[in-house]
Amino acid sequence: MTVVVTLRSELASATSALLNTVAALGDADVAAPSRLPGWTRGHVLAHLARNADGLVNLLTWARTGVRVPQYGSAAARDAGIEAGAHRTAAEHLADLQESAARMDAVIENLPEEAWRAPVEGMRPPPHPAWYVLVRRIRELGMHHVDLGAGYGPADWSERFVRRELRDCLRTWPHDSSTVGGIRLLDVPDGGARDLPAVWRDLGEGPVVEGRPADMLAWLTGRSTGEGVRVVLLEGRSPAPGTADPQVPAAPPWLTMPAPADLPATPPEDYP
């Protein structure tokens, strides 16, 4: 058994959770602002539906060997989101259900060898097709929070948090880092399942610490740093009795859609 089986189960759970949230929204709710600047909840939902279709394109490329871009262009992607953003709540729910079903059907019928095929999103690097599942779970987890409809970083699964933190580290933007190091609380000193408890040599800036879900929320722009604090500033601990130093702005996130060194063959696990 490979990680594809595990990721499919996780994808089904994340999809179900999103659909349950959307099913409880009314027309006024989907027209209200989301947590993303300039986007309503309807924009977020339209993006998620079209993202499923875009990832179907990549899986079709993997199956046929014929290049099929995720989106025709960045402008076409944006136009698709805008075109669907103003639908009713019922129309959004139906669109999400139908696009998820289309993706599930393609996944179900993808030949085993196709999961090893290299594909590429709108930005490099290329990645094997099995990582499409990771990307879709990421989209669901992050944008579910962006709806601002009762689902937050505390609802992310431990597995999701661990994997996303590990990929943050593997794609770290050293040249534009705002911190020099990270300490993850509640993670064993030696790390857990390939996730180190201490991240060193990240760039210029203080060392910050926090629990994994709080750290991931900050790193991905889903919080302003709640639960994260500065523990070393210019190589020294903050002076006793002084106010806690302000947590810096997070470094750029997702500068690469995938780590550059993923194995082509789906591994047994990708925690």
Q: What is the pTM of this model?
A: 0.96
Distance CA 85, CA 46 (A): 5
What is the rounded distance in angstroms from the CA atom of residue 132 to the CA atom of residue 60?
11
- For tokens 């929204």, name the residue: 25
Q: Where in the chain is the domain with CATH 1.20.120.450?
A: 3-151
125: preceding bond cis by omega (within 30 degrees) = yes
Q: Alpha-carbon distance 106 to 55, whole Å?
A: 10
pLDDT tens digits along 88-107: 999 999 999 999 999 999 99
- 199: its two tokens: 């991240």
Mean pLDDT calculated for residue range 232-260: 87
Task: Looking at the structure, give the CATH architecture of the domain made up of residues 3-151.
Answer: Up-down Bundle (1.20)
Please say whether the dihedral angle defined by the alpha carbons of residues 100, 110, 133 and 60, taken in this order, is positive or negative.
Answer: negative
User: pLDDT by residue (tens digit) across 72-86?
Assistant: 999 999 999 999 999
Pairing of strands 181-184, 198-199: antiparallel
Does position 11 have pLDDT exceeding 60, yes or no?
yes
pLDDT one-digit tens code per residue, 151-198: 999 999 999 999 999 999 999 999 999 999 999 999 876 555 679 999
Q: Rounded mean pLDDT of the chain?
A: 95
